[in-house]
Structure 1
């Protein structure tokens, strides 16, 4: 993901594997030469962060004019993709999709020998594993930030792939934001990316539905937002508790049973229908919960709904 609404992440670099990057962004150590391929909004933000941190930065884009502002800041515009790859030992690519990466770099794969390829292009986990076969020094990444915050502590990036490549270039990657490494499977960063985006869209859709519902009573969304934010903060506690139940495979109803949730869901559907607000969102939640109960999860906590998402209910 390359252009996602900003969140408020933990600003200390972490890892779920064996390697952790802890240097703060733009912390003033020596500048490793970097190449940035792809100069859309995010690509330009990445190149700018490297330049501001003192990295000699080479850039390339199929439309050369997008590099003008970066060149004025000190970047070098490569005349070709091959020349861009040859310019640096660290190559960061951020294009529209994996097909674009194949088109741009595929004819020049030989130039990747001895270089680390960091692919910050959105894609699937299988595509990340496919790209990893191009070079042993491969890192797949996901950017959980918008372009405006790249290079600042609130930006955080997810990486997986070669542990040696991450260890070697972690200081440079920390120039972009706080970097977390998830291990040698190149597909893990992409899986984390889409899983986190699902959380984002689920939360935003729930807020928008609630705002539409309250709007029928002439309640402004700005009046609703503080209460929604307070409740989302409370829900994070449920997430932590349910995560433990999921890992144990035991769904004790310590707060409320699925039946209690289902009864309230029905009210949400009825209120929405009565107000003329679209019912697809709450009705879908109700249907999933009914499936879980029908599969024998009555009397359990809401965490047992994971069996529906696993396709086992």
Structure 2
């Protein structure tokens, strides 16, 4: 390890934590690690990592402390009794916006600066710059700026606001969109499943179509910003609801349940019934706000 390379502490060596550790060690950082199951850390010793016997001792070893644990409760349990005064705490544990905000206040009470992070990658992407991985950060911008070079090693850092809850909110919003896409992909393949159609041949067409359709996010954003949901509408809600009937009939003919589609279609019908047939689907957003 290079003596002038910043040192840091990493708490948690699950699949993601281990990937983070390998990235920092490969970049020459002095790394102190701790894991509830010590055996997981042994593979890192040969690469230069130091294993701390307790989480408190790991925290004491470096100013920058990165936490990548199972859940928010694990963070509290692990750091209970550790002296956080003067530490820079970066929490990469998956959680909710409310949990991140509460953890930021908790850290401040203990004299630590706090940054919450949402890792937009899977472990094999970590430390591979061309993989396009990035980490959403929210909370102390000063903390991120001071440790940017270190935090940029595993993945590109993107600060999304001083509000500590924003990284988790962005994270879940992106994952929610992805989940909806997965539902559509699942339904599409189900429609073809009993036909003599090669899934491999269909996949490029499906991927290309979805890629083209993602540009609709810009139109939705523009309508939300302007407040005019009829702005630049290509296919209005009345047309889409009418087209939904064909999709539902096709699913029935193909022996496929429409349960992945009907919740959204039902909301579209409600919005249309409220007299918004000249909009597109942006108004559905208002329907699901509580």
Measure how far apart 1:220 and its partner are: 2.7
Aligned residues of 1:90 and 1:118 also touching (Cα < 8 A):
yes
Equivalent residue for 1:25? none
Are 1:181 and 2:195 counterparts? no
Deviations 1:63-104 (A, max 9, x none): 000001111111000011111000111111111100111111
Are 1:50 and 2:24 counterparts? yes
TM-score by length of 1: 0.87
Q: Structure 2 residue aligned with 1:112, among 84, 89, 93?
A: 84
Are 1:74 and 2:48 counterparts? yes
Counterparts of residues 78-89 of structure 1 (less than 5 Å) = 78-89=52-63
Equivalent residue for 1:143? 119
Counterparts of residues 135-284 of structure 1 (less than 5 Å) = 135=108, 136-153=112-129, 154-252=132-230, 254-284=233-263
Residues in 2 aligned to 1:159 and 1:29: alpha-carbon distance in whole angstroms: 28
Q: Structure 1 residue aligned with 2:10, among 24, 36, 39?
A: 36
Equivalent residue for 1:22? none
Residues in 2 aligned to 1:191 and 1:48: alpha-carbon distance in whole angstroms: 28
Residues in 1 aligned to 2:287 and 2:208: alpha-carbon distance in whole angstroms: 28
Secondary structure at 1:91's aligned position in 2? Answer: strand
Measure how far apart 1:208 and its partner are: 1.1
Are 1:102 and 2:81 counterparts? no
Equivalent residue for 2:282? 303
Secondary structure at 2:261's aligned position in 1? Answer: helix
Residues in 2 aligned to 1:240 and 1:74: alpha-carbon distance in whole angstroms: 47
Gaps of 5+ in 2: none
Secondary structure at 1:268's aligned position in 2? Answer: helix
Equivalent residue for 2:39? 65
Residues in 2 aligned to 1:29 and 1:73: alpha-carbon distance in whole angstroms: 15
Q: Give the total of aligned pairs.
A: 282
TM-score by length of 2: 0.93
Secondary structure at 2:127's aligned position in 1? Answer: coil
Measure how far apart 1:302 and its partner are: 2.3
Residues in 1 aligned to 2:198 and 2:10: alpha-carbon distance in whole angstroms: 44
Residues in 2 aligned to 1:249 and 1:182: alpha-carbon distance in whole angstroms: 24
Aligned residues of 1:158 and 1:181 also touching (Cα < 8 A):
yes
Measure how far apart 1:282 and its partner are: 1.7
Q: Which range is displaced more, 137-146 or 273-282?
A: 273-282
Looking at both structures, which has the greater relative contact order when contacts are Cα pairs under 8 Å and sequence separation is at least 6? 1
Residues in 2 aligned to 1:86 and 1:295: alpha-carbon distance in whole angstroms: 60
Measure how far apart 1:216 and its partner are: 2.3
Are 1:126 and 2:98 counterparts? yes
Residues in 1 aligned to 2:260 and 2:36: alpha-carbon distance in whole angstroms: 41
CA RMSD of aligned residues (A): 1.5
